[in-house]
Structure 1
Amino acid sequence: MISGLETVAIALTEPGSGSDASALRTTATPCLGGWRLTGEKTAISWAMNASAALVYARTPGSKRSSGVSCFVVPMESTGVSTRHMVGMGCLPLGWGSIHLDNVFVPESHVVGEEGRGFTAVMNHFDFSRAAIGLMCLGAARQSLDESVAYAQQREAFGKPIAEYQGVSFNIAEQATHLEAARWICYRALWLRETGESHTSLASMSKWWPPQVVRAAIEIAMRTHGNLGYSTESPLQQRYRDMMAYLVAADGTAEIQKKIIANEIFKRGTVSL
């Protein structure tokens, strides 16, 4: 995996549960020498490209977060099939569904503690949500940098459009939002590094940066005028890619807000 020769998908989301990940129905039935996995995962990033998947499944009869374990499932295993789901953006991610039909997984392929898989993946999300936020902000920064360069070159009414407040103030606002959102992500990762609670900040890192990048790209498109709307511009691709992080990838904005609100009312204060 480190060398890039093997790539792995994270298979948690299911058609009937979506953001309610603890309601997953994929089962892992104990058998001689291991387990038999049956179920379906959907909207899985890298499903069409991965050589293996981390599949989250529950023992029959268990409920909610209890009884969920994580299994390494090689994609060439008997009983594994995939279906490509073509999205409006993020096309290289190979988004798709993974179907498991009585797939045998040996005991050695259990990741972490048996029955503790749900807790482990939620802990992982506290990292990946901040990382996704920073990835989104990279697209925002690139779009704004391109707008700054264009605004200094493009002239209207005898001077560069950067000299008009209708252009420059928009970029100033977006640069401010970008900087603030970046520090939320950094603080979440710093708290993780120091072993402190950071679930709220991780969720803030996931719902707000995609909003920031959407606004930044819209401003960049308007700054570039008709060129920004052209399919020849990278802005349209970034806009379509960004939408994926508003509706998927470690939980929707609404789920993140629910997590943040739960943490606030549990503490009794908005202070972190």
Structure 2
Amino acid sequence: MLRSAARVVKPVAAPRRMRAVVPRAFSTSTACKSGLASLHTFTEEEQMLRESVQRLAQDVVAPRVRDMDENEQMDPVIIKTLFEQGLMGIETSAELGGAESSFTSAIIAIEELAKVDPSVSVMCDVHNTLVNTVLRTYANKEQQDKWLPLLSESKLGCFCLSEPASGSDAFALQTRAKKDGNDWIINGSKMWITNSYEADIFLIFANIDPSKGYKGITCFIATKDMGIQIAKKEQKLGIRASSTCSLNFDDLKIPAENVIGGEGKGYKIAIEILNEGRIGIAAQMLGLAQGAFDKAVPYTYERKQFGQAIGTFQGMQFQIAQAAIELESARLMTYNAARLKEEGKTFTKEAAMAKYWASQVAQSVSGKAIEWAGGVGFTRETGIEKYWRDSKIGAIYEGTSNIQLQTIAKFIQKQYS
């Protein structure tokens, strides 16, 4: 209230204007109006796909996991079902037999399959994020019309880059291709090729001019019946149902029309596609870790010691909480890399981070899951130990952990130096 004029000794400053109370922009009481969504926000189509793959994984894959692992053989029923359910052409257009869905949809499918069996997941991953993507991105229209319907509906594909002498240095490959009239003749060998035992369609990287170094590397597409020799099938620590074979090419004749992306463009194709493929591996490792977590944690609330469930002891609670944090961080990194790729933004560093961290989390969480289940977890009966065996490959294929760290470091150096 203003003072009475009789009591004023000196002029009184004008009263301050009252300001309207406006909620602060970061107040939790104000709804977000930016239109931005969380990384857990999915389209209706993506959510429906997740639920569909979850059902397929439980109904078709789960009953076959142990036998496939023991026999080191993929069940043909699973391959057939993945094609029938549209999971082998997720991003391919409908007119070419695909589902015409988003890249994140492919990541979701890979993640959900890995929760039940990482072997099935990586088969779907390589087929979608490597083989199909190469053809959708670099093949001409005639090649797309010929090959993509087959890859969407019935024929499994594989990506043939690695060789005995070229692992992390993938472009030191020795496989050669020479022009012979309207054909190319390929000689050499490949190693560690996923899906190769069951595959019908092969993307083969060979050097057409070694004097040009990596600029001579060219991508060819071939079929098994052209004379591709499936050699040694590896006996592995994990993902045993996923075939990993060596391949031999002895005067393999491939029509000139089967060059993908142009002569000498193989390096560009491989380096760009592997960046994308690393998000797929991150999704596989994420799903694997979540699968182990989902199997082991309920057991900790059923098993009682000293009169209480072991999951209610503080030491166990802290371990479970830590694992949940690691899972969520890997999930956010993986989804973020996927969305960046979809938006056409640079994602190489984020893909490397997601792949590196998800593989670390997969090993950590699956290892702890065994310990949480105790002696039962160490047996093959529960299937928990399989997740740990399967997890180790995540730090090796499609770029080792050291290669991912090197990639990340280069981006940091470029930013700060």
TM-score by length of 1: 0.94
Percent identity over paired residues: 31
1:16 aligned partner: 165
CA distance in 2, matches of 1:205, 1:112: 28
Partners of 2:228 and 2:382 lie apart in 1 by 43
- Measure, in 2, the Cα distance between the counterparts of 1:140 and 1:71: 36
Normalized per residue, the structure richer in strand is 1
1:264 aligns with 2:378: no
Name the SS of the counterpart of 1:102 in structure 2.
strand
C-alpha spacing 1:141/1:21, structure 2 compared with 1 (3 Å): same
Alpha carbons 1:41, 1:98 under 8 Å: kept: yes
Retained in 1: the 8 A contact 2:196–2:243?
A: yes
- Tell me the C-alpha RMSD between the 2 structures: 1.5
Q: Which of the numbers 328, 340, 346 marks the counterpart of 1:191?
A: 340
In structure 1, the partner of 2:379 is 230
User: Per-residue CA shift, 1:65-94, capped at 9, x if unaligned?
Assistant: 211111112112236343211111112221
Note if 1:253 corresponds to 2:408. no
SS in 2 for 1:105: strand
Aligned counterparts, 1:170-181, within 5 A = 170-181=319-330
Match of 2:307 in 1: 158
Per-residue CA deviation, residues 169-220 of structure 1 (Å, 9 max, x unaligned), is: 1010011011111111111111111111111111112221111011101111
Per mean C-alpha deviation after superposition, the further-off stretch among 233-242 and 260-269 is 260-269
Query: Using the alignment, how far apart are the partners of 1:151 and 1:81 within structure 2?
Result: 45
Which residues in structure 2 correspond to 1:1-272 (within 5 Å)? Answer: 1-78=150-227, 80-248=229-397, 250-268=398-416
The Cα offsets for residues 123-153 of structure 1, whole Å up to 9 and x where unpaired, read as: 1112111111111111111211222211111
**CA offset at residue 63 of structure 1?**
3.8
User: Can you give the 5+ residue segments of structure 1 that lack an aligned partner in the other structure?
Assistant: none
> 1:14·1:24 contact (CA, 8 Å) conserved in 2?
yes
Stretches of structure 2 lacking an aligned partner (at least 5 in a row): 1-149
Change (3 A) 1:44 1:79: closer
Question: Aligned AA for 1:37?
Answer: I
Number of residue-to-residue matches in the alignment: 268
Cα deviations by residue, 1:74-129 (Å, 9 ceiling, x for unpaired): 11223634321111111222101011111111012111222111111211112111
The structure whose residues are more often helix, as a share, is 2
Question: How far has the Cα of 1:267 moved from its partner?
Answer: 2.3
- How many angstroms apart in 2 are the aligned matches of 1:78 and 1:214? 39
Cα deviations across residues 33-70 of structure 1 (Å, max 9, x unaligned)?
12111111101111111112100011133444211111
Question: Of the two, which has the highest radius of gyration?
Answer: 2
User: 2:282–2:334: 8 Å Cα contact kept in structure 1?
Assistant: yes
Amino acid at match of 2:158: A
Alpha-carbon distance change, 177 to 79 in structure 1, aligned in 2, over 3 angstroms: closer
Q: 2:215 is paired with a residue of what secondary structure? A: coil
- AA aligned to 2:328 is E
What TM-score results when the alignment is normalised by the length of structure 2?
0.62
Alpha carbons of structure 1 residues 49 and 8: separation in structure 2 relative to 1, 3 Å: same
CA distance in 1, matches of 2:228, 2:366: 43
